[in-house]
Amino acid sequence: MNGDFHYYATYCTAILAGYSHEEACDICYSAQFVDLCSRTFLSSVNGPKAAATTQLSAELVEQKTDFLGLQEITRIWASFHFLPYDLHAEKKRCSRAYRNKYRMICNSNGALLADTVNLAKDKSLQAVGIAMHITADTWAHKYFAGTPSMAINNTDNHFFEIMPEEDGYKVRPLKFSHNPGAKDDIENAVYVNSLYQTSENTVMNLGHGRAGHLPDYSFIRYKYLPAWGDYKEILKDNPSDYIHAFAQLVYAMQYLRGEHESFELNRYAWETIEPYRDEIEAILEKRQLSDSDDWKALGEKLSGCEIPDFDLEKYKEEYKKAPKEEKGYTFLGKFFLGALAQKSMVTGKIYRSGNPLAGVSIDYEKNGVGAVKDYLKLFEYSYGGNQNE
Amino acid sequence: MEKNFESCLNNNPVSIKYRKSERTLYATGLGCMGYAIWSVIRTLLQTYFRYEDIKEFFNVIAREVVQVMDPSLGEDLIRLTTILTDILIIALMVVALVVSFLLRFYVGRSACLEAVGKKKRVIYIVFAVLILLFDIFSIYGAAREFGNMANGTSTEDYLAPWMPNFLDEVAELLLSITSVIIMLEMIVNAIRVKVFRKKFKGGSVNER
């Protein structure tokens, strides 16, 4: 998903879930920050590199795709943007290598989603924001995997937009161009995607690059042939997926606030969003590349407060100036801890399922952290209480 | 937003088979074109690395011509005949190479165009069958040569420079087997696609 949903729409869901304006700002900032917390940013604040939640294009260009490099990529993208749906999915008549990648395919309401939301329980607002980003992305990034793989993530020119009409729908073909500087042309159905490359492990085949930004546009419905789909067409109904994501975010945050005893998959806060459903659907169905203005207007209407624009530099100085022992209590410090915990949890689950794609995971509670000094803080974090103090 | 758009999906078994055939046809078309290009590169590499052997071959031809011709015809005429013989041999080989390349390239390109929905005549399938038969014959020839090598049977002296060594023969065999598989897949899927299209009376399945 784009910044419009991760920032402004997440703010709306936080308000509807019962958070205050200030809490909602912290949550939505953290949700959007997941898309920006790269190693480059971490270097600028001297933060722990292991807390990276994304990789910039420039970093991906330089990223090695050897065995260890692929693990590095998978650890980030599978943990924060393409949460695997079923780590034990069965696929007949295929090699083990293919099955491992098949098991990394993202979808909504997987077991790891419950783990992600529960991990944020009684933790900081930053952890809540991270969990909400991941939850939202399980809807948008369905059917793609957070590991470079042509055999899983590739698509071809069989791409058709489905446009509702009065009594039914019409279908029109979509075209792709590879000019990264060009803008997506909604009117003429020409979108930018990554270049086709035959190498299995190239970063061009990471995530939904081959489908361009289509998964991140709330208005579009389309059908296509994913490489893993055995020549079957798959429907991606973004307006439906996005409203489910919205309702699930509200429900998840209600749970994290203590309104529900447990987090259940496939459960949504439809009653809570019902008074605003028409407005939400209107925003989602609007054919435009960014819904930021509309979500912002809705959010300000819900809370009665002005939502500050996202500012990447906002919390940098606080973190840089804090003494070492107090860094964990700064805004960024709490975010980094939440990110480390999330990455450790997902990587551990992938590793224990017998899948080597995310590398080896040390169970720090049992075996200590070894040489990974960034994870020392997680000892306190795992036993710590509410980090909002 | 309550509309169900699942009905727009086309996942009946026939359509799925059709899509698979189209994509296999496209891939085999690329493979055939790649093999055509590889044939040219291989010949150029062989000519470069075995230049001395080839020179010796033409020397042998020249000696044969001198032996066969009447010395009373004169040295100039004999030399001219030798040169013309060399040119004829080279020309025949170049023509064979060009024809082989053009044929494979045409077949591969036709398969790709057919796969993306452009109508193509059946003739490329006929040529594909010819190429398949030629590749099967190559495999037979290679197998026979392995037999000769195992038995220590010597070849005619004048053919010696052209006879590949064991490794060359293994490489040639593997490529011929690959080509056989590609052509078989291409023929089968080309026929399937034509049959499907006649049923649907349309172009590519992408349009449905």
CA distance B40 to chain A (A): 23
Q: Do A140 and A283 sit in the same domain of this protein? A: yes
Q: Is residue A145 part of a domain?
A: yes
Q: Is residue A283 part of a domain?
A: yes
Q: Do A176 and A197 sit in the same domain of this protein? A: yes
Q: What per-residue confidence (pLDDT) applies to A383? A: 45
Q: Is residue A302 part of a domain?
A: yes
pLDDT band at B112, cuts 50/70/90? very high
Of A204, A236, A268, which closes a domain? A236
Of A210, A236, A262, which closes a domain? A236
Name which of A162, A172, A220, A235 to mutate to probe chain B: the one with the most chain B Cβ atoms within 10 A of its Cβ: A235
Per-residue pLDDT of chain A (389 residues; tens, 9 = 90+): 998 999 999 999 999 999 999 999 999 999 999 999 999 999 999 999 999 999 999 999 888 889 899 999 999 999 999 999 999 999 999 999 999 999 999 999 999 999 999 999 999 999 999 999 999 999 999 999 999 999 999 998 899 999 988 878 889 999 998 887 888 988 888 898 888 888 899 998 999 988 999 999 999 999 999 999 999 999 999 999 999 999 999 999 999 999 999 999 999 999 999 999 999 999 999 999 999 999 999 999 999 999 999 999 999 999 999 998 888 899 999 999 999 999 999 999 999 999 999 988 766 555 555 444 455 555 555 544 444 43
CA distance B78 to chain A (A): 56
Q: Do A258 and A126 sit in the same domain of this protein? A: yes
Q: Do A220 and A359 sit in the same domain of this protein? A: no
Per the document, the length of chain B is: 208
Q: Do A168 and A101 sit in the same domain of this protein? A: no
Q: What per-residue confidence (pLDDT) applies to A126? A: 97
Q: What's the CA gap between A269 and A253, in Å, rounded?
A: 10
Q: Which domain holds residue A192?
A: 151-236
Q: Pick from B5, B11, B23: which is nearest to A221 by CB?
A: B5
Residue B63 above 60 pLDDT? yes
Number of Cβ pairs < 8 A linking chain A and chain B: 40
Within a 13 Å sphere around the CA of A95, how many CA atoms are in the beta-carbon half?
4
Q: What per-residue confidence (pLDDT) applies to A9? A: 97
Q: Pick from B1, B11, B19: which is nearest to A240 by CB?
A: B1
Q: Does B20 touch chain A (CB under 8 A)?
A: yes
Q: Is residue A389 part of a domain?
A: no
Residue B183 above 90 pLDDT? yes
Domain ranges of chain B: 14-202
CB contact (8 A) between residue B5 and residue A237: yes
**What ipTM goes with this model?**
0.78
Q: Which one-letter DSSP state was computed for residue A4?
A: I
Q: Does B208 touch chain A (CB under 8 A)?
A: no
Q: Do A347 and A365 sit in the same domain of this protein? A: yes
How many structural domains compose chain A?
A: 2
Name which of A231, A235, A236 to mutate to probe chain B: the one with the most chain B Cβ atoms within 10 A of its Cβ: A231
Answer yes or no: are the C-beta atoms of A341 and A378 closer than 8 Å.
Answer: yes
DSSP 3-state assignment of A123? coil
Q: Do A245 and A299 sit in the same domain of this protein? A: yes
Q: What's the CA gap between A163 and A70, in Å, rounded?
A: 38
Closest CA to A208 of A311, A112, A77: A77
For residue A169, list its beta bridge partners.
Answer: A164
Q: Do A264 and A165 sit in the same domain of this protein? A: no
Q: Do A127 and A34 sit in the same domain of this protein? A: yes
Q: Is residue A60 part of a domain?
A: yes
Q: Do A269 and A309 sit in the same domain of this protein? A: yes
Given CA atoms A67, A68, A72, A78 in this order, what sign does their dihedral have?
positive
Of A236, A266, A284, which closes a domain? A236
pLDDT band at B66, cuts 50/70/90? confident
Number of neighbouring beta carbons within 10 Å of residue B127:
16
Q: Which one-letter DSSP state was computed for residue A289?
A: S
Amino acid at A319: Y
Residue B147 above 80 pLDDT? no
CB-CB neighbors (< 8 A) of B6 in chain A: 235
